[in-house]
Amino acid sequence: MGAELTAILDASVRVLDAETALMLRFQAGESACFEELVGRFQGPLLGFVYRLVRDRAASEEILQEAFLRVYLHRARYQPQARFSTWLYRIANHLALNYLRDHRRERLHDSLDEPEEEDAAPRELADRRPSAEQVLVAASVEQQRSARIRATIAALPARQRSAVVMHKYQGLDYDEIAGALQLSSSATKSLLFRAYESLRRELKDLL
């Protein structure tokens, strides 16, 4: 019976993408598939969540929660949607909840505030004044990067998520639409408006 089930699953998932197939095998009881999924998605998903919440520790917590929910609610997964879509939907939901709960703290966030990964070079700059030119260039780069980060952060929540999924995670329209629970045309419209806002706000850097 077990072998038959595995054969049927193997046949049916051949047409699905690899991650969805792994998820279906995990649903069928193969725990090792869950570890494989965590290994495959933890890096990209951290990049996605970090771009939304901009706090490494909080991003890690959100990731833990997202994978935990996948584990606990594996029976609810339906292969109509790709596994990545389902996972991004969960992570996006958790990240937006986090941002809503910490809105007051985020109000103090400013353009001048260095991002976590920007902080180390700045400290290095303090210690090595001899490399002045290099540091000036790095500082300009940091400022541009901070400006882009802040402009994306200022977008409405759905537009922000859509831009990060499209531009930085490489998700296609259908995947973004599935993750945001929108139609494909609504997703395209959302992305168009988001990019137009970004173009307007960043025109002096273009």
What residue ranges bind another protein (CB under 8 A)?
Answer: 38, 42-43, 46-47, 50-51, 54, 56, 59-60, 63-64, 67-68, 71-72, 115-117, 141, 144-145, 148-149, 152, 166-167, 188-189, 191-192, 195, 198-199, 202, 205-206
Which CB sits closer to another protein, 16 or 44?
A: 44
Contacts of 184 (CB under 8 A, 6+ apart): 173, 174, 177
Q: Nearest approach, Cβ of 199 to another protein (angstroms)?
A: 5
Shortest gap between Cβ of 24 and another protein (angstroms)?
19
**Looking at beta carbons only, is 65 or 93 nearer to another protein?**
65
CB 201 within 8 A of CB 151: yes
Q: At what angle do helices 83-101 and 56-72 cross, to 10 degrees?
A: 130
Please give the Cα distance from 81 to 197 (Å, whole number): 30
Query: Where do we find the tokens 């917590």?
Result: 61
Give least dist CB 186 to another protein, A.
12
Closest approach, Cβ 189 to another protein, in A, equals 7
Answer whether 28's CB lies under 8 Å from 6's CB: yes
Considering beta carbons, is residue 13 or 138 the nearer one to another protein?
138
Pick the closer one to another protein by CB: 16 or 46.
46
**From CA 191, how far away is CA 183, in angstroms rounded?**
12
